[in-house]
Amino acid sequence: MSFRTGHAFKSSSSYSPLQFTFSEIKLATKNFDESLVIGHGGFGKVYRGTVTCSDGDILMDVAIKRLDSDSSQGAGEFWAEVEMLSKLRHCHLAVDRSVDEEHWGLATWAQDSIKEGRLKQIVDPDLREIISPKCLKEFALLADRCLHSRPRQRPTMAEVVTGLESILALQEKPDSTLLMKIFRTKVPTSMSPPNPENSGTSLESLEIYLYTVGGEHRIVRRFDFNTILDATQNFSNAYKNMPGHMPMYKGRLQNGQDITIAEYSDAREYKECMNEASFLVRLENENVIQLLGYCIERTKVYLLYDLALNATLAGLIYDLDWNKRYKIILGVARVLVYLHNHAPIRIIHREVKPRNILLDESFNPKLSGFRIAITINETDCIYVDDVAGTLGYIAPECFSKLEVSTKADVYSFGMLVLETATGQSIIDLWAVDTSIDGEHWGLARWAQDSIKEGRLKQIIDPDLREIVSPKCLKEFALLADRCLHSHPKQRPAMAEVVVGLESILALQEKTDTTLFTKLFGKRVPTIHIPTNWGYLVGGTSLKSLDLYLYTVGGEDRTVHRFDFSTIVHATQNFSDANKFSSSDGYMSMYKGRLQNGKDITIYRPPSSTRYEKYMNEASVLVKVEHEKVVQLLGYCINGTNLYLLYDFAPCAALDALLFDPMCDLLDCHMRYKIILDVANILVYLHKHATIHIIHGDVKPANILLDESFNPKLSGFGLATAIDNSYDYIHVDILHGTLGYMAPEYLWASKLSTKAEVFSFGVMVLETATGQRIFDFTRDGNPYLFDYVKRSWLEGRSSGIIDPRVNVNSMLMIKLVEIGLLCVEENAEVRPTMEEVVGMLLGTISQTLPVSKMRARMNGEPPTNLDSTVYEDSDTTTVDEFISELCPR
């Protein structure tokens, strides 16, 4: 082994720092043998070792400090020591022993070598034969510029990227370019765009940039100019979108694909073009335009987007009805949450304005205009060299401090909301009120002053006053006012804005004309929860949840916010005596009593559960009024824990009593009555509630029983609103509990009330048999209703009844028959919940399609002979019990 820098044993004043390879270190420490450890600390371990110097002639004992990769505090100490020792010219931190005292640093040594024409001396020998000398020279000169002693003489990083891209063009062998060798197969993209103005080959650099910006995984196609001419019909005015800052055209490719084309024509716009491309290749969101390709013709650059553009919001905002305006605003808000919190790179858009909101033929918004967008770090705030954006939409701090953060986008969005609510553009304010003095001429200031002075009616678009409730409009205007606060920290995050917008939906006074119905038409999605909610709330989920729960009830239904001390007192500090769980131990529920004597139930969700489920539950429960549905009393947020309070004191969940082999509290009459009550609840939800609802998770664990075994339905976290004029709705994501999900829902994503009937049928069979839906100790029939069907068809109906039920098994057999009807594979054969209630009450007769069941079970063709099979050994008839239960 030899030192690369030669001998090192002179006086300390002549020491030169030395560089060792990792293999030399491993050899010196015998591959970091633990027996050689002589010390350790927060940074890692120190090893004793021996190194060989001067071509193997001299041995030297050394101490080798190794930084632990898991160290945090140690890392700082470690590098501080490296910096200190480098200043002391320590013998183990040098590059070249021949460097004199004045030029010991790598930067000075390299710069001097470049100036003196000794480039070959400093370049890694492994690169000399692979990369062209011209490339290496340009690469070294670029490094030299970056290392200039005066900051103003150094290039910006945007110029550095342009330089690197230019070097790429100089490389003689494209398959072995310097850029590819540095970054292997992944070509990086620049978030700070190159500055073509400083390059004589700006268009050439731009083309290289666009061609490579997508890397391997995102191809940005190069289109020829004839394709553009053909797609736009020679830039016909009929296809031109709108005059303005940048010409945009609608077009159609020969394959029928509709596209939008933006035209860039000068050096400043080239820079913006590169910036836009660098972002779009990394973003995947349904409300962000997608970059399809580009075309360069002479001095013009065209970017092609995969979008059938109808118009921009700027051209239609004042002609759209409230429903479309609100839908667009909500879509834009969600996109900004994605950019700020959940995109691969966190982004500040900086140009949120109607002109950059593109609309397709269905008025779905697509955010464009990433020309001056920038990335942000964890501090959420950066300082810029100059002001960029559109006057009127730029936040005050961008002017006064050159400070840019996500809250700058919030301000711009607030202006967008204000324009939507007032029907006025930023530049049209004088047409609204010519008496406004010069100090208050801006739309934001005018609107804020009007809101503070109670003149809300003056600023609201007259076309909206008669359509939307005053409360909704007021909250909408107040939300804009918060977004436009002069201090960034006082503005809400975009995640909170989305929650506010969703809360406004709940305030609409007339259910049959709610904004929610207007927005989504007849096909209503899961109640009140924004798409991809888990992405929306991001790091502020509890804060957003707090705001949502506080406002979800609107004016008519108050959801109280309780402090944690009240919860602790009510549950006796979460005493085990007050805790009860479902049979699977998943739920964490406590009985409690408030100081006013009201008995309550307190539910603490698992920490792994997403909050969207409880937002959904709250939005349903504030709209449902039924004596056998749990009522939401309030909530509490303490730290990272959420607590929901219900106005009900249950004794246990149904599953806890059914599946405890030692529990015999539920006789056949109780079970039958529980099933009848739950069936009536589902009829109410499906047909008679203010909004028709599919519960989505009917199972014994969600049936809570009081001390008299009266049931209450809970667990509305997966509930979905429905329109009964449709047979079913398609869902994007399946939710529910395996075993209770209907086949058509599980395999075809079709959700309907008949899917709920299936879940109910499974619960009925569990109630009658006392057995779980899955039990792998049942030989050959781990799935409950397969086991029950086979037993039924083989004439062993009484054998499947829960043995703890020793009288009136006829009631249980009737339940089994109804349960089997409900779990029919064909949804059309299943009864409705109204029919189920009729069967339970004896007003409707039920007949099992036995031959078809047998055929499906055995893989045989069905016969025409159907009959029911059960044994009558009861001492009390079903009719007598039903008469007692519901006297006619």
> Is-catalytic flag, 433?
no
**Nearest-CA neighbor of 569 among 531, 600, 615, 608?**
600
Instruction: Look up tokens 């919001």; give the residue.
Output: 313
DSSP state letter for 101: G
What residue has token string 């009330």? 753
Return the residue matching tokens 């970091």: 32
- Residue 558 CA to residue 632 CA, distance in Å, equals 10
The angle subtended at Cα 581 by Cα 580 and Cα 585, nearest 5°, is 150
Distance between CA 486 and CA 484 in Å, rounded? 6
**DSSP-derived 3-state class of residue 499:** helix
Tokens describing residue 48:
């004793």
Query: CB within 8 A of 655, min separation 6: which ones?
Result: 582, 583, 584, 699, 700, 701, 703
- 8 Å CB contact between 355 and 391: no
Q: Which residues contact 319 (CB under 8 A, 6 or more apart)?
A: none
CB 107 within 8 A of CB 148: no
| Cα–Cα distance measured from residue 434 to residue 454, given in angstroms and rounded to the nearest whole number | 20
Bridging pattern class, strands 632-638 and 560-561? parallel
65 among the known binding-site residues? yes
Report the C-alpha gap between 408 and 417 in whole angstroms. Answer: 14
**Residue 332 CB partners (closer than 8 Å, separation 6+):** 287, 352, 357, 365, 367, 413, 416
3-state secondary structure of 435: coil
The encoded tokens of residue 585 equal 């131990």
DSSP notation for 800-814 = GS-TT--S-HHHHHH
- What lies within 8 Å, CB to CB, of 797 at 6+ separation is 791, 813, 816, 869, 870, 871
In angstroms and rounded to an integer, the radius of gyration of the C-alpha atoms of the chain is: 36
Token output for 100:
């004199």
323: buried, middle or exposed (CB in 10 Å: 19+, 13-18, 0-12)? middle
Nearest to 365 by CA among 332, 394, 388, 317: 332
DSSP assignment string, 575-632 = -GGGEE--TTS---EEEEE-TTS-EEEEE---TTS-THHHHHHHHHHTT---TTB--E
Catalytic residue among 409, 461, 546, 697: 697
Rounded to the nearest angstrom, the gap between the alpha carbon of residue 554 and the centroid of all alpha carbons in its chain is: 26
Residues constituting the chain: 888
- Hey, what amino acid is at 373? A
- Among candidate residues 428, 459, 528, 473, the one with its CA nearest the CA of residue 322: 473
Q: How many Cβ atoms are within 10 Å of 401's Cβ, its own excluded? A: 12
Q: Could you tell me if 403 and 490 are in contact, meaning their C-beta atoms sit under 8 angstroms apart?
A: no
Backbone angles phi, psi at 322, to 5 degrees: -60, -40
Contact (CB, 8 A) for 271 and 280: no
- In Å, how far from its chain's centre is CA 698? 27
DSSP codes joined into one string, 270-290? HHHHHHHHHHHTT---TTB--
Please state the φ and ψ torsions of residue 749, each to the nearest 5 degrees: 60, 30
Neighbours of 43 (CB within 10 A): 20
Feature table: binding site for ATP: 65
**Which residues are part of the catalytic machinery?**
697
Feature table: binding site: 65
